[in-house]
Amino acid sequence: MGIFEQMQAQGHEQLIFCHDKGSKLKALIAIHDTTLGPALGGCRMWPYLREEDAWQDALRLSRGMTYKSAASGCDYGGGKSVIWADPATDKTEELFRALGLFVEALKGRFITGTDVGTKSVDFVWSLAETSHVVAVPEEYGGSGDTSIITAFGVWKGIKASVKEAFGSDSLQGRTIAIQGLGKVGSHLAKYLFDDGAELVVCDVDPALAADVAGKVRARVVGTEDIYDAEVDVFSPNALGAVINDQTIPRLRARVVAGAANNQLAEARHGTALWQRGIVYAPDYIINAGGLIQAADELEGFNRDRAYRKAAGIYDALERIYAISRRMKIPPSEAADVMVEEKLRQRGQLKSMYLPR
């Protein structure tokens, strides 16, 4: 499908192409749905192979942010920005200042911050051009690194999912495979290790995998071997589309629960997991911790309040699993049912005339 066909099919409001000659910025800002409020979503920096890959990623990720915000109780819509560049070599002050100018031009309709390939400190440069940036370092007035609270929420979500699969949320002696040990995966490993889990880990960076494994007494396997590990939980914490026709038959886990966005290569793969008796924690539910922190920052950040909200991911997943059982549908569909009902109800409220 073309751009407008995909936007219509997925319900997007805007897709903005941003280019700055001086800084060599090539970026997109996708705004999916603003029923609940202004669009909130991070900025991904990635060396996409094709232009089409960049705008498709922006559309897919921004839709996920709408659902994530609605499910987590945040009164914000869904958006995402992507920078088409290599985060290892292309970061400059001018680049992030230019991005800030494009964000500022939207006058608060879109708010952004860190995501894959970017760090909170990168957006200190953007702050010079716009106030519509969150999760910058605390010394610059932000709430700081969102990866820690994201890992906290994923830990809570894994416990809820283990309870659904095994009848108890105890992780003592449970085996968990962590795919990806970046900003979130490394923190998650510590939470799980402290809770009694036995870990199997992998990462594309062998040195990072060895370092994290040494701290949490984990067994390191190859990036392809992780799918075949005999574990209770498979936790994807790198890039998306890792749950697909090739990997699902290889999984030995009873639970799939991790921080990666867009884990299912296609929606039908959620059904495939369900039919195999594998409990799947919908990604936009379980990885909402970072969004919760960013949204709380916009209200005047309170760390204890943000962590209490992130702990609610456990309860949200319990509600989704209950809907799944009651309606006899996969958890991936049950999550959409819950979110779309909230959007429908809020949309009706917005249609009411209120005198000013």
Catalytically active residues are 80
Residue 77, beta-bridge partner list: 39
First to last CA, the chain: 43
Contacts of the segment 190-195: beta carbons below 8 A, 24+ positions apart: 190/151, 190/215, 190/216, 191/151, 191/152, 191/154, 191/155, 192/155, 192/158, 192/216, 193/217, 193/218, 195/155, 195/159, 195/171
Cβ proximity of 196 and 173 under 8 Å: yes
Tokens of 16: 């903005």
Give the containing element (helix H, strand E) for 271. helix 268-275
Residue 255, beta-bridge partner list: 233, 279
CB-based contacts of 299, cutoff 8 Å, min separation 6? none
CA dist., res. 274 & res. 86, Å (int)? 37
Neighbours of 206 (CB within 10 A): 12
Cβ proximity of 39 and 65 under 8 Å: yes
CA dist., res. 86 & res. 177, Å (int)? 28
